[in-house]
A and B are shown apart, each in its own frame.
Chain A
Amino acid sequence: MTVDEATLTHLAGLAQRGDRQAYATFLHGSRAWLLRYFRRRIMPDQIEDLVQDTLLSVHRKLASYDPSRPVVPWLAAIARYRFVDHLRIAYRNAEDALDDDFPAVAIDDEPALTARLSLDRLFEALPDAQQRAIELVKIEGLSISEASASTGQSESLVKVNIHRGLKRLAALIERA
């Protein structure tokens, strides 16, 4: 289901007033948006879990949306918060790496606002070493020693970079 951002904003306002039909459409539209949002930065088998976690947060924190403003930056802030939280959960033993064939969103085709809110933008705010360590260990599922061999960083430096990078990501959720 594709719902444009203006409609999504209108639906969110109606949902706050208890309109279930509008809320159902809002959730479907948000789900489609979140699937596109996450898919470049998370393993395919993890996406549905993360999307549902995010929708649950949207549901619980619906009052935190200011109906006088566009809804997408609010949705993106909640998505980023859940994403960073998700990264904190180590899944080094994951067997599947990112599937290169998985269809990715073409950044050039994205509207400017969406690009501004993207997870790539969040990652760009990190120093290269931290970005690489997080991508290899937390997203691609490599072990610390594999990431160390791949980057040339010592194992302890990989750990420090992950720790510092996650801390920095958490601080940048609304900024970057």
Chain B
Amino acid sequence: MSTNPDVFMEELVGDLRPVRPLHQRIGMAWACLAVGTGAVLLSSVLVMRDDLVAGHPDPMFLTSAGLFFVLALATSWAVVDMARPWVGTRRDGWGWTALMAAVLPLAALGLVILNWAGGNRLSVDSDGQECLGIGSVIGCLTATALVLWLRRGAPSCPRRAGLLTGVASGAAGIFAVSLCCPYNDFLHIGLWHGMTVVLGGAIGRLVVPRLIRW
């Protein structure tokens, strides 16, 4: 039930406190800090990859970790920007990065299916479950930073914001795991590491919207 408009607005004016506008660079700084903290934390608890320590990283590691890192940054950028609604904004850039990163799991899946159809069963390691679990847990740091940021802002599409928060968290988590994961195997990276991002996106889509509605 509405109250007298003048009285209502007087109350709002009386309640006014100075606010600090949400700047994109501040939000991204928080997101990067969360991604970096996850990577440092994991590298200090687990053993970092030998080739990385020796300064001669494997090309497969560089490519996949780089893709997940860029995906984490691109989706975090979109999420941070979503806190500031504006009619006329398009935030499609993350989609191309996601598509690029999706090549890894899709190609791995295709490889498994083609071999299976040809009567040749490829074995998929089960160590990947650890990557999936640890990556998801570490990704919670990025998820927390992004959700807190979104709660300060006014995301107009909570479902999409939730999905992207989950993708960013999964990508950040698996990037941190990549620094310690000894596998250079295409199937391991494509399936298990890729699945971490997909799982993150699904959880984010389900859980985050109810945390950020306003």
Contacts and interface: CB of A to CB of B under 8 A. Distances in A.
What band does the interface of chain B fall in when counting residues whose beta carbon is under 8 Å from A?
35 or more
A76 B88 CA distance: 10
Main secondary structure on A side of the interface with B: helix
A15 B84 CA distance: 17
Interface residues of A, number: 41
Contacts of B5: 31, 48, 51-52
A23 B13 CA distance: 6
Contacts of B214: 57, 60-61
Interface string B65-95: 0000000000000000001111111100000
Interface stretch (B45-53, B119-127, B148-156): B148-156
Which of B8, B154, B160 has its CB near the most chain A CB atoms (within 10 A)? Answer: B154
Contacts, number: 115
B3 A52 contact: yes
Given A48-B2, A60-B214, A174 B84 contact: no
Contact of A64 (B18, B85, B88): B85
A173 B87 CA distance: 7
Interface stretch (A65-73, A101-109, A127-135, A136-144): A65-73
A56 interface: yes
Interface stretch (B19-27, B100-108, B170-178, B197-205): B19-27
9 contacts: A16-B20, A16-B21, A48-B5, A63-B152, A65-B84, A67-B21, A73-B87, A74-B87, A171-B160
A64 B3 contact: no
A63 B135 CA distance: 33
A24 interface: yes
Given A20-B16, A73-B88, A52 B2 contact: yes
Nearest to A50: B2
Contact of B21 (A55, A59, A63, A78): A63
A17 B17 CA distance: 8
Interface string A146-172: 000000000000000000000000110
B154 A61 contact: yes
A117 B89 CA distance: 12
Max chain A C-beta neighbours (<10 A), residue from B2, B17, B89, B156: B156
A92 interface: no
Contact of A63 (B8, B86, B87, B153): B153
B54 interface: no
A171 B19 contact: no
Given A18-B17, A55-B12, A57-B214, A80 B156 contact: yes
